[in-house]
Amino acid sequence: MSKSRIYTAALIVIGDEILSGRTADKNIPQISKWLNVQGIRLAEVRVIADDMDAIAEAVNILRARNDYLFTTGGIGPTHDDITVDAIAKALGLDVVIHPAARAILEKYYADKGGLNEGRLRMARVPEGADLIENRMSGAPGIHLENLYLMAGVPHITAGMLDGLTGTLEGGAPLLSATVGAWAPESEIADILIASENAHEGCQIGSYPFFRNGKVGANFVVRSTEADALAACTAGLKAGLEEAGYEVTEGGI
C-alpha cells in the first residue's frame, strides 16, 4: 500500500448539550490528534442533535466519502441515547444484544445491583457489529464496517481510542512545525505566501493572538514529508528574520 495516499476520517459529535452551549466539546481535538498519529487526517466534523433523521443523514453522507467515520455520544443507558438505533436505521440493519457486551456489563454491574433495562441498552449494537475493547473504563465502543461509535464522555472515549490504536490502516502521518513571531500577521502575509509556494506539499496556517498589549502570531507548517517540512520552516524563519522579526521556534 502506497504511503502517499491520504487517509481521511470524519467525526459526528452527537448531542444536544454541545449545540445548546452547555458542554464544550473536548472530543474533536482528542480524536483529531489520535488520528494524526495513525496517519489519518480528520477531514470534517458535524455537530448534530439527538435526532434519528439528522444522525442517519450525516452518517450516510460522511461514511461514503471518508475512509473512516467516528461518532461520539448517544451510546449510554438513557432514553436520549439513540445513536445505535439511528445508525442501524441508516444502514438498514436490526439492533441486537451483543453477547460479549452483555457479559462485560453483567460483570461490571455484578456488585452494583446487576443489569436492568437501562444498563442492557448499552449492550445493543447494529447487527454484525463488533466491540472496541476499553481497558480503561469498561464500556466498549462499537465497530461496524468503517464506522466507530465512541462515548460522549471524553475520558471514556480516550479508553476506546487506546483500544483501537494501531488497528486502522493509515498513510504517512501529517507532520507539523511551529514558529512564532511578535509580528502583526497583516504585515507578513507576503512572506507566508512565498514560503508556502517555494515548498511543494507544505501548507502554512497563520494563527494570530493579542497578549500583553502586543500582537503576534504562530505559523504552523504542515507536510507529510519531513524534508519538505524542515526546508519550508527554515525558509519561513529566514523570511521573517530578514523582515526584522525575532522568531521563536516551537511557537510563542
Q: Which parts of this chain interact with a second copy (CB under 8 A)? A: 13, 15-26, 28-33, 36, 41-50, 54, 76-80, 109, 112-113, 116-119, 121-122, 153, 155, 174, 176, 184-190, 192-193, 196, 203-210, 220, 222
**What values do phi and psi take at 226, rounded to 5?**
-60, -40
Kindly tell me which of 21 and 213 has the beta carbon lying closer to a second copy. 21
In terms of DSSP bridges, do strands 214-223 and 175-181 run parallel, antiparallel, or are they unpaired? Answer: antiparallel
Kindly tell me which of 76 and 163 has the beta carbon lying closer to a second copy. 76
For the CB of residue 146, give the shortest distance to a second copy in the complex, in Å.
19
Q: How far is CA 208 from CA 28, 123, 154, 217, 249, in A?
A: 21, 46, 28, 4, 16
Answer whether 195's CB lies under 8 Å from 223's CB. no
**Alpha carbon distance 70, 176 (integer Å):** 23
Kindly tell me which of 47 and 52 has the beta carbon lying closer to a second copy. 47
Kindly tell me which of 55 and 142 has the beta carbon lying closer to a second copy. 55
For the CB of residue 19, give the shortest distance to a second copy in the complex, in Å.
5
For the CB of residue 112, give the shortest distance to a second copy in the complex, in Å.
7
- Which candidate, 222, 221, 226, 219, places its Cα nearest to that of 240? 219
Kindly tell me which of 163 and 184 has the beta carbon lying closer to a second copy. 184
Q: Which residues have CB under 8 Å from 252's CB, separation 6+? A: 180, 181, 182, 209, 216, 218
For the CB of residue 197, give the shortest distance to a second copy in the complex, in Å.
9
Kindly tell me which of 139 and 142 has the beta carbon lying closer to a second copy. 139
**Alpha carbon distance 19, 35 (integer Å):** 24
Joined grid coordinates for residue 96: 441486537
Sheet holding 175-181, edge to edge: 203-211, 214-223, 175-181, 247-249
Joined grid coordinates for residue 176: 507539523
For the CB of residue 65, give the shortest distance to a second copy in the complex, in Å.
11
> Taking the CB of residue 46, how many other CB atoms lie within 10 A of it?
17
For the CB of residue 235, give the shortest distance to a second copy in the complex, in Å.
15
Kindly tell me which of 93 and 252 has the beta carbon lying closer to a second copy. 252
For the CB of residue 94, give the shortest distance to a second copy in the complex, in Å.
22
